[in-house]
A and B are shown apart, each in its own frame.
Chain A
Amino acid sequence: MNQISLEGIAQVVEATHVVSASAEQERSYHWAICSDLMSDVLTRDGDGAVLVTSLASVQALRAADIVGIGAVILSNGKRADPQMLATAQSLSVSLMTSGLPSFEICIALGKAFAL
């Protein structure tokens, strides 16, 4: 599996950074979890993963933080509200938003990680 930087992931999924947690800049990722249900996210060990979700809520960030996921990609152009931005900063979880649907983000990430 390819290790991809946050910047590389943003390019692959056509995403805009909303919050870039400083500690995350050097981190790399090699797989993704895609779900809108946070209990599903909690069943996984999230080291090296990004979370793809259309759930624009602080709970997506909290669930990600609990299992060690360092970055969350909001799909379908979902926007983060001020509470979400503050929580991302507080938890040091990177946050970006992509206009692509979750399915297309997963295809793009799957290809990129497999290259």
Chain B
Amino acid sequence: MIQNLPIDITNSSLVIRELITRLRVCDVMSTDMITARRSDTLRTVQLQMKERGITGVPIAENGRVFGIVSVDDIIQALDEGHINDRVDAHMTKNVVLLEEYLPLSLAVSQFQRYSYGRFPVVNKEGLLVGIISSRDILTKLLVEINREVDRLETLIPASVPTSDRPNGFREFTIKQYDLDNGGKATESIKKLCESIGLDSRTCRRIAVIVYELEINLAIHSYGGVISCSYTPECFRIVSRDNGPGIADRDLAVTPGFTTANDWVKSLGFGAGMGLPNIKRVADEFHITSAKGHGTVVTVSVNLVQTGGGETK
């Protein structure tokens, strides 16, 4: 019996929601599939299913999908004695097809809507390129979640040794995709700034920097650490992560440039203004990164003379 996919598109964890939005049907589908022709018999399809251990076979010729035969159709044929009939006499003809570049979230909703066990996948020309089953989806999600867990386990960014910590030192660990807590480090730093008597404009500049760094770590990195410290002359903020790194640093600080996916944009971020905003309000801004490695962003705000820039 076919069961609905146990995936709640709306209320699943952030990791699951990000995965099913980022992944496409073509990332998950099987391309190693078998098909049958309309003139084949149901017995032929039954043997194909038995040999390959599958429960559904698309009926297609030259890439064009004419129908699908499921294991239920075969059971019915055996039951009613028409197992040697041609396929096209008994196949399901109103087949729901999925386009290969659809987000996986839409595929999941189709599975839940129709309660089918599989859907043929077609390209833009409408030709069959694969087949996707609920098992394919669960397997892929499991692989991706395992990868995420591995990444989290190895993600312990180098922390500043306690003995080397300067005055007023604060450190915050930011987890990947954790936007529910995004901004909490900023709130804490803002209170610190107010408590040490910084003027409201300087407090806002520092808050903008920490907030953008926090959000960047959550949406672009595998997670990382933000540390802050201050002297009477300078407030210093450092963001460190373990990857995936920035391929082109100049491009990354260009206003409007973004690598954010649709999921991130739907949450109000990914406008390509994060690093430019930080650079705009900082007195010193330095970024070290390379694709495949971690990124370190070091930012300073002068407390004695807050810079002459109008926007600061």
Contacts and interface: CB of A to CB of B under 8 A. Distances in A.
Q: Which 3 A-B pairs have the closest CB atoms?
A: A39-B273, A62-B183, A37-B271
A43 B273 CA distance: 9
Contacts of B269: 37-39, 59
A67 B204 contact: yes
B179 interface: yes
B200 A68 contact: yes
Contacts, number: 66
Contact of A37 (B186, B200, B208, B268): B268
Interface residues of B, number: 26
A4 interface: no
Contact of A38 (B180, B201, B268): B268
24 contacts: A37-B270, A38-B268, A38-B269, A39-B271, A40-B271, A40-B273, A42-B208, A42-B211, A42-B212, A43-B273, A43-B280, A53-B268, A55-B267, A57-B179, A57-B267, A58-B183, A59-B183, A59-B269, A60-B268, A62-B211, A66-B186, A66-B190, A66-B207, A83-B180
A37 B204 CA distance: 18
Contacts of B190: 66
Given A37-B268, A38-B268, A57-B268, A66 B204 contact: yes
Given A39-B272, A57-B267, 20 more contacts: A37-B273, A38-B269, A38-B271, A39-B269, A39-B273, A42-B208, A43-B277, A43-B280, A58-B180, A58-B183, A59-B182, A59-B183, A59-B267, A60-B268, A65-B187, A66-B207, A67-B204, A67-B208, A83-B180, A91-B187
A104 B277 CA distance: 29
